Amino acid sequence: MFAPRRQGPTSPNRGTYGTCGCDQWTPPQTTYHSRVLIHDRYGFVLTVVAAIGAVAAIASLVRPRILPWVRVYARAMIALVAVQVALGLLLVATGDRPQQLIHWFYGAATLLTLPLALLIGKRLGGREEQIWLAGGAVMTLLFALRALATG
């Protein structure tokens, strides 16, 4: 009734051998896609969190009492972006590359924007700190969107 499932070297679950006659083995696509898929999906979640944080940071300009929560967001976001960068570097170490070379720049910019905004804002204090935090949160969102589009 049903044909038996083929479990040879050309099975999609086990990879394939090259057709050039050189017996070069290619890993199965499911392994590649599952590794990159984690980086892609985590990047999307990170962008959504960055959008929420940017809205909160802008709101802190009008309502200064939420500024402590924005600071907590900024520190948590730095940690989340660092995990994403580590996942990306792990992918590079295992042989995967981003689709566009500019993805490297946007990934680094996403990682560095909030720490710089926190550092500069803390030194200035007062209203300038709120402005730097809001700007850093918005720029983090914009860089995350670009990194998502170029990955």
Residue 43 lies in a domain: yes
Alpha helices in the chain (DSSP H): 29-62, 67-93, 103-124, 126-150
How many domains is the chain built from? 1
Residue 123 lies in a domain: yes
Pick from 68, 134, 80: which is nearest to 111 by CA? 80
Q: What is the DSSP letter of 4?
A: P
Residue 29 lies in a domain: no
Residue 96 lies in a domain: yes
pLDDT in tens, 50-85: 999 999 999 999 998 999 999 999 999 999 999 999
Residue 5 lies in a domain: no
Q: What is the pTM of this model?
A: 0.75
Q: How far apart are CA 146 and CA 17, in angstroms?
A: 36
Q: What is the pLDDT tens value at each position of the chain, 151 positions in all? A: 454 544 445 444 445 545 555 556 555 555 556 778 888 899 999 999 999 999 999 999 999 899 999 999 999 999 999 999 999 999 889 888 888 889 999 999 999 999 999 999 999 988 899 999 999 999 999 999 999 898 7
| Residue-number span of the structural domain to which 54 is assigned | 35-150
